[in-house]
């Protein structure tokens, strides 16, 4: 991980149902960006996350 951040938008209970949705809008030049959203049962966005990672090819 090169960089990551998390934002809490409203109070929520971690012991109740939550949906985590994640996508990767770009991955190029040895770097990838992942972003995610956390939703409660009522459809409210409760948190957002982003993470930038380094991508390297494995050597055999």
Dump pLDDT digits (tens) for 7-56. 999 999 999 999 999 999 999 999 999 999 999 999 999 999 999 999 98
pLDDT score at 2: 87
Q: Determine the pLDDT at residue 31.
A: 94
Predicted local distance difference test score (pLDDT) of residue 58: 85
pLDDT of residue 46: 99
What's the predicted TM-score (pTM) here? 0.83
If DSSP states are collapsed to H, E and C, what string results for 1-58? Answer: CCEEEEEECCCCCCCCCEEEEEEEEEEECCEEEEEEEEEECCCCEEEEEEEEEECCCC
Q: What is the mean pLDDT of the chain?
A: 95
């Amino acid at each position: 991980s090169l960089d990551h951040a998390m934002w809490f938008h409203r109070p929520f209970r971690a012991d109740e149902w939550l949906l985590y949705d994640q996508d990767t809008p770009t991955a190029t030049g040895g770097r990838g960006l992942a972003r995610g959203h956390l939703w409660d049962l009522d459809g409210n966005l409760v948190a957002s996350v982003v993470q930038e990672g380094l991508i390297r090819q494995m050597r055999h």
